[in-house]
Amino acid sequence: MKTPRELGLRWPAEWEPHRATWLAWPHNHSTWPGHLKGAEQAFTRMVRALQGAEEVCISVQDEAHADRVAGLLAEAGHSGGVSLHVIPTNDAWVRDHGPVFLTDADGGVHAADFRFDAWGKKYPPWDLDDAVPSRIAELREMPCHRAGFVLEGGSIEGNGAGTVLTTASCLLNGNRRLPGEPPRSIEAMQERLREWLGAECVLWLGDGIVGDDTDGHVDDIVRFVSELVVVATVEPDPADPNHAPLAENLDRLQRMRDARGRPLDVVPLPMPPPIYVDGLRCPASYANFYLANGVALVPVFGVPSDERALAVLREVLPDRRLAPIPARDLVLGLGACHCLTQQEPAGS
């Protein structure tokens, strides 16, 4: 079987034109104990922000669940541009369990189907989630390329031009190893990212933020907003446990070069103060935004730093409308806007 690189496929950057945004409607009470209704309300806000920008495709559990979701969207005033698809899931984190979409030289769209094991086998079962990429590829009638290793969409960040950011704490973690797979190494993972995502240059960061159960997904700490510009979360309080790892990541970024040897333009992005929901410190980060056609969904937490973060993002995303999404209920589930979305590129 040829790899996507051998087939000439490319992983487009998130800011390139989309055909659609994929969501998986939240339904798992154990993910949002006592806050599932709030998570659903945040989803209706995300759908509202996306309407008119691109198609919104939503996975639901069954026909009864489809009726419920349609009712919630109708109550919120949504109409048009939304399609519901019965694709059962274990949970709502489509960034991680859904396909990573690739394009070919003729503008065709393909699905890369990486294995999914619930972030190192933390939350069984995950069989339904692992089947989602092939289900979506079948629905869209697109080629599907199944990889023989675990990789989550939130663990990788690409600029569409051969440079990929990731974290050693996640990609080298032994809990992602499948039976018979050799120990993970930087060299082995770089080769996989090259063959499957066209990564000519892999930039390695260190640890993620407190409360992140993914072992340090990059989409909570550093994001590309253009080919050479990245926003990097910073925590100014030395007493906060996020201060040191984020400072270390910032230092690394300022010394990094892309696949063509060019330095990155690193823009600091503030962290919110510690966000506690029902006594649990959640992995709240403004970096967990999502770039759709002409709009950016940005998690906000009802704190003064919301406006500072939005001001930074307005500067680096001048061509996009910012849609603040109240995310306190979302981050109780240990993720936010980016974790809950997956972009399908426009293709030809």
Strand pairing of 82-86 and 55-60? parallel
CA within 13 Å, CB half, 272: 27
Cβ of 84: how many Cβ atoms within 10 Å? 18
Q: Which of 242, 250, 30 is nearest to 124 (CA)?
A: 30
C-alpha 131/C-alpha 320 separation (Å) is: 33
Contact assessment for residue 72 and residue 86, using Cβ atoms and an 8 Å cutoff = no
Sheet of strand 144-150: strand arrangement: 100-103, 109-115, 144-150
Tokens for 202, please give them: 């892999």
Contact assessment for residue 288 and residue 339, using Cβ atoms and an 8 Å cutoff = yes
Active-site residues, by number, are: 339
Number of alpha helices (DSSP H) and beta strands (DSSP E) in the chain = 11, 18
Residue 252 CB-density burial (10 A; 0-12 exposed, 13-18 middle, 19+ buried): middle
C-alpha 52/C-alpha 25 separation (Å) is: 20
C-alpha 235/C-alpha 283 separation (Å) is: 13
Interior CA angle at 109 toward 106 and 115, to 5°?
140
Look up residue 154 and give its DSSP letter: G
